[in-house]
Amino acid sequence: MRAAVDHSRPGLLDWLSSKRVAPYLFVAPVLIFALSLFLGPLSFAAYISFTDWDGVADPKWVGLKNYTYLIGRDRFFWTSIWNTLYFAAGSVILGVPSALIVAALIAQSRFQSFWRTVYWLPMVTNIVAVAYIWWYILNDTNGLLNRTLDLFGLPGPNWLTSTSMSMFSVILVASWMSLGQNILVFLSGLSGIDETYYEAARLDGANPWQVFRHVTIPLLRPTILFVLITSLINALSSFVLMMILTEGGPARSTTVTGLYLYDMAFTDLRLGRASAAAYILFAIIFVISLIQLRLLRRGGVEAH
């Protein structure tokens, strides 16, 4: 009788394998990872953003002072936000269409593996080396680009040393660097389009441009939107290239918010203010991502 009662009571193993518990057990490693390495630091940064802290002495609670300073008083913070948006928009506008065009050309070429390798090389090259090579290419007087332009009697702009040209030059280099990754994603999307669509279009008399415009692009829309969203998020949070290539100059014309808050935190030791800046940047990226997701649902996935 007693043994029968014990058998009817659910054991630990039964409880662990129940539908109520088991799913959480499976995701537990990820949850623990997220809690310790994501939510923990995130919560700490949120707390620090309301304090004045140099990393050594005890944090001093200052309420919203860091946020009000950044939003209301720090005239350079908004310039850095503008620089960030300019860089992100420029990288996407220049980088994504060029990657799509190159991918479409590679998809029709005979040596796909070779071209894939060539365009992937910048991705596996150290960013410091990339920055140095481009620094020499873009040098005003002796750079390869200006010397080449001179051969054709063209003017040689101050690519990295003029406050009006420097950000464009950084965008150029960043787009070149991310080209390989985007090309690979586009190639993967292109290989998923059924050949019969192209055959049908050609039978209807469509020329190559019409095929690309009316068949390839609509069928590739989910991939395009994926590349757009990932490129934009990457660009909004990037700062290493500017740190190495231009040190954020001249006159901070290439200082994006990421670089500005890095200096704030680790050079000026204003960790509280830097955390507040990081949260404001996070809010901006979050809103932009939400808008993109909404557009993606309407014009992308839901459309298919």
Partner 1 sequence: MRLTSGRRLLAALAGLMLTAAPASSQPTTTTIRVATHYNAQQIAPMLACFRQYEAEHPGTRIVHQQVSYEDFIQTILISRVGRAPVDIYNLYSIWAPQLIATRALDPPPFEIERFVRANYTPAAIGAATIAQRLWGIPNSVSVYQLVYNKKLLEAAGFSAPPRTPEERMRIAGAITKKNRQGNSVIGGYAFDLSGANVTHVFYSEMYAARVPPYTADGRHTNLRSPTALAILTKQTELFRRGITSNSVLAVDFAGGGVGMAVMANWMKDTLRSVLGSRFEETVGVAPIPTDGPGGTMIYSFFWGVDAASRAKPQSWDLLRWLNSPRGHGGLSCTGAMLAGMGDLTGNRADLSAMRGQTADPFSQAYIAALAAPGAASQPNIWHASEVDRLLKYYIQLAWAGRMTPAEALAAADGDIGAILAEQP
Radius of gyration over every alpha carbon of the chain, rounded to an integer in angstroms = 26
User: Total residues at the site for partner 1 (CB under 8 A)?
Assistant: 30
Rounded-to-integer distance, Cα 270 and Cα 257, Å: 15
**Stretch 52-111 residues interacting with partner 1 (CB under 8 A):** 54-57, 73, 75-76
227 CB contacts (<8 Å, ≥6 apart)? 96, 99, 100, 182, 185, 186
Q: How far is the CB of 54 from partner 1 (least distance, A)?
A: 6
Cβ distance 86 to 167 under 8 Å? yes
Decide whether 79 or 237 has the Cβ nearer to partner 1.
79
**Stretch 34-53 residues interacting with partner 1 (CB under 8 A):** none
Q: How far is the CB of 263 from partner 1 (least distance, A)?
A: 7
Q: How far is the CB of 129 from partner 1 (least distance, A)?
A: 19
Rounded-to-integer distance, Cα 293 and Cα 211, Å: 27
Q: How far is the CB of 128 from partner 1 (least distance, A)?
A: 14
Q: How far is the CB of 141 from partner 1 (least distance, A)?
A: 4
**Stretch 121-140 residues interacting with partner 1 (CB under 8 A):** 139-140
- Interface stretch with partner 1, choices 2-10, 94-102, 201-209, 244-252 (CB under 8 A): 244-252
Rounded-to-integer distance, Cα 170 and Cα 254, Å: 8
Q: What would the DSSP string read from start to end of 76-130?
A: HHHHHHHHHHHHHHHHHHHHHHHHHHHHHHHHHSS-HHHHHHHHHHHHHS-HHHH
Residue 61, beta-bridge partner list: 51
The pattern of x and - marking residues 253 through 272 that bind partner 1 according to CB under 8 A reads: ----------x--xxxx---
Cβ distance 159 to 166 under 8 Å? yes
Tell me which of 8, 126, 141, 191 binds partner 1, using CB under 8 A.
141
Q: How far is the CB of 207 from partner 1 (least distance, A)?
A: 42
The three-class DSSP label of residue 303 is: coil
**Stretch 198-227 residues interacting with partner 1 (CB under 8 A):** none
Task: Provide the token pair at 59.
Answer: 């944090």
Q: Which amino acid, residue 30? A: V
Cβ distance 297 to 286 under 8 Å? no
Q: Indicate whether 250 belongs to the interface with partner 1 (CB under 8 A).
A: yes
Decide whether 266 or 286 has the Cβ nearer to partner 1.
266
**Stretch 146-165 residues interacting with partner 1 (CB under 8 A):** 146, 149-150, 155-156, 158, 160-163
Task: Provide the token pair at 160.
Answer: 């990295």
Decide whether 30 or 56 has the Cβ nearer to partner 1.
56
Task: Provide the token pair at 303.
Answer: 């459309």
Which residues bind to partner 1, rule: CB under 8 A?
Answer: 54-57, 73, 75-76, 139-141, 146, 149-150, 155-156, 158, 160-163, 247, 249-252, 263, 266-269
